[in-house]
Amino acid sequence: MNVLFPLLFLVVILAAAVIFLWPLIRSRSVKENEYENPSPPLFNEEFSEGLSLPPADLSAQQLQCLPEPELPHYYGIDRMVLLARDPHWLFAYWELTATKQDEFANHYGPEAWSATQPVLRVYDITGIDFNGKNALGYTDIHISESTDNWYVQVGEPDRSFCVDLGRMFPDGRFITLLRSNAVTTPRASLSDRLDEEWMWIEGLYRTIGKFQFGVGSPMIVEELAMRSAGLPLGISSPGFKQEKIE
């Protein structure tokens, strides 16, 4: 029995792997047929997207010699990471272990998990040393049980935020399970802070305003099709915002 058990386990794993990987293998073979006869692209558009297809397909073929890798989705560690994407958006991802879930159940009762809802609480912690209670304010976002990442629209440049993942009871009680790191959104305009010794030269800024930095979509970004045929150039786009300096 002791010898059989690991063997049985192995068989189950293998079966699961076959079931899991089958759609991947199948979809790949469909894709191969699609490009079975790579024909020269018709130059019916100036920047034909067709140029990209043969190289993409080739990579797929070459890489098929390598084993199909899959990363674990979870690492068994309770964590929540917050990133500031731009002046208006944050991105959070997290992992909640079963142990953490059990702890919650032990503390609040076996029914507590199903009686509560997962909520993201986004704290404004600008300029303070956050201790969980002293936030300037917060917003709650109700999410679904299976969600493990979220883009948070804060809409506030140059502010600091921290996010808790927690459970909310029907009576509004919020229990924190995970707390993220703190981030600050980037500024989206000139700083209000002026330096007396280095007073800004207004005329000089007007020069810049005249040139309208943020010229919209620059050549390289507009012509992404080029990347398919050319080198993976960095972006080098001066087009960040459609606005002038006030």
Partner 1 sequence: MPRGYLCLVLHAHLPFVRHPEHENFLEEKWLYEAITETYIPLIQVFERLIEDNVKFRVTLTLSPTLISMFTDPLLQERYVRHLEKLIELADKEEGRTYGGPFHETALMYKKRFHEAMFTFCDRYNRNLVTAFKNFQDQGRIEIITCAATHGYLPFMMIYPEAIKGQIKTAVDLHTRHLGRPPAGVWLPECAFAPGLDEILKECGLKFFFTDSHGVLYASHRPRFGIFAPIYCPSGVAAFGRDIESSKQVWSTQEGYPGDFDYREFYRDIGFDLGLDYIGPYIHPDGIRVHTGIKYYKITGKVDLSQKQPYNPRQADEKAALHAGNFMFNRQHQIYHLSNLMDRPPIIVAPYDAELFGHWWFEGPKWLDYLIRKTAFDQDVVEMATPSDYLRNFPCNQVATPCSSSWGNKGYHEVWLCGSNDWIYRHLHMASEMMISLASQHSNAGGLYRRALNQAARELLLAQSSDWAFIMSTGTMVEYAVKRTKNHLLNFFRLQKEIKGNCIDEGYLGNLEYRNNIFPDLDYSWYTNTNELPKAASL
List the interface residues with partner 1, window 77-106 (CB under 8 A). 77, 81, 83-87, 89, 91, 93, 95
Could you tell me which of 189, 194, 114 has the C-alpha nearest to residue 157? 189
Task: Return the residue of 1, 19, 65, 98 that touches partner 1, per CB under 8 A.
Answer: 65
Query: Which amino acid is it at 31?
Result: K
Contact 162, 123 (CB under 8 A): yes
The region of 42-50, 119-127, 139-147, 160-168 touching partner 1 under the rule CB under 8 A is 42-50
DSSP 171: T
**Bridge partners (DSSP) listed for residue 123:** 138, 162
Q: Which is nearer to partner 1, 5 or 75 (CB)?
A: 75
Query: For the chain, what's the residue count?
Result: 246
Scan residues 126-165 and list those touching partner 1 (CB under 8 A). Answer: 149
Task: Return the residue of 6, 19, 75, 246 that touches partner 1, per CB under 8 A.
Answer: 75
Q: Name residues whose C-beta falls within 8 Å of residue 194's C-beta, 6 or more positions apart in sequence.
A: 200
Contact 117, 167 (CB under 8 A): yes
Query: Which amino acid is it at 143?
Result: I
Query: Does position 23 bind partner 1 by CB under 8 A?
Result: no
Scan residues 191-220 and list those touching partner 1 (CB under 8 A). Answer: 191-195, 197-201, 203-205, 207-208, 211-215, 217-220
Contact 80, 163 (CB under 8 A): yes
Task: Return the residue of 32, 34, 45, 103 that touches partner 1, per CB under 8 A.
Answer: 45
The region of 14-22, 132-140, 170-178, 227-235 touching partner 1 under the rule CB under 8 A is 227-235
The region of 9-17, 73-81, 121-129, 134-142 touching partner 1 under the rule CB under 8 A is 73-81
Contact 120, 141 (CB under 8 A): yes
Query: What is the size of the binding site for partner 1 (CB under 8 A)?
Result: 93
